[in-house]
Amino acid sequence: MSQLLSLRDRKRTETWAALHNAAARLTLENGPDRVTTEAIAAQANVSARTFFNYFSTKEDAILGLQDPSIDDTWLEAFDVDANLLDQVSRLLVNVVHSTEGGADGDSLRMEVVQRFPQLRQRRFGYFLKVEQLVRDVVTEGITASAKWVDVAQHHRAEDISRMIVLIAGAPMRYAMQESAHAPTLDNQFAALSTANALLREVLPEIQ
């Protein structure tokens, strides 16, 4: 049998997906304002209270957003002393992905974001949490690194990593703004890699 997840974890995932699907489906049918958290919970066959055990707001459920997290594998592979920009970029992409749970294939998220732009700001809100998380990782790396002792004498590690994450995150912000107009998954990838290229070209010019 598939014993990768415990029964508990499997059910938790199922309930999460059921709530997100119900929320997204009902929203597509009636618009986000005509959907109540009660109706969503009923569709997912759980109590109204349980809804808020999984999502802190109705919008989070509609969009299927979770708090960001970093896989241990990524943490171990992270090395501040080489290719920092690349690494932080990839970390950001990965952590953003962690905020959008479940299988993307059958998720109704895309359609929802496209049809109800009011919901978009919520994703930016989550990007702040993502940055915070990544910043912590970078801060820790810098603090422990010999390569950064010089810079760290003039600035606090927190500030250094804030700046690094801001730069590395610029392409994602750029892509997110773009994706307002082109919300398919392919288009988002395209926007991101365009933005990445742009960053590489701009960086050498401004120093």
Partner DNA sequence: ATGCAGCGCCGCAATTTTGCAGTTGTGTAA
Partner DNA sequence: TTACACAACTGCAAAATTGCGGCGCTGCAT
Restricted to residues 29-68, the positions that interact with DNA (CB under 7 A) are: 35-38, 45-50, 52-54, 56-59
Tokens of 82: 């080489």
**Min CB(18)–DNA separation in Å:** 10
Restricted to residues 88-107, the positions that interact with DNA (CB under 7 A) are: none
Region label for 71, one of left (φ > 0), alpha (ψ between -120 and 50) or beta (otherwise) = beta
Q: Work out what residue 36 binds among a copy of itself, DNA, none; the CB cut-off runs from 5 to 8 Å by kind.
A: DNA
Task: In whole angstroms, give the CA distance from residue 139 to residue 63.
Answer: 30
Q: Work out what residue 154 binds among a copy of itself, DNA, none; the CB cut-off runs from 5 to 8 Å by kind.
A: none
Instruction: Tell me what percent of the chain is helix, strand and coil, each rounded to the nearest 5.
Output: 75, 0, 25
In the bound state with a copy of itself, the residue whose beta carbon lies nearer, of 46 and 85, is 46
Binding site for a copy of itself (CB under 8 A): 1, 7, 42, 46-47
Tokens of 149: 């002792």
Provide CB contacts within 8 A for 182, sequence distance 6+: 188, 190, 191
Q: Work out what residue 116 binds among a copy of itself, DNA, none; the CB cut-off runs from 5 to 8 Å by kind.
A: none
Provide CB contacts within 8 A for 88, sequence distance 6+: 134, 138, 164, 165, 168, 169
Q: Work out what residue 52 binds among DNA, a copy of itself, none; the CB cut-off runs from 5 to 8 Å by kind.
A: DNA
Q: Which residues contribute to the site for DNA (CB under 7 A)?
A: 6-9, 11-12, 15, 35-38, 45-50, 52-54, 56-59
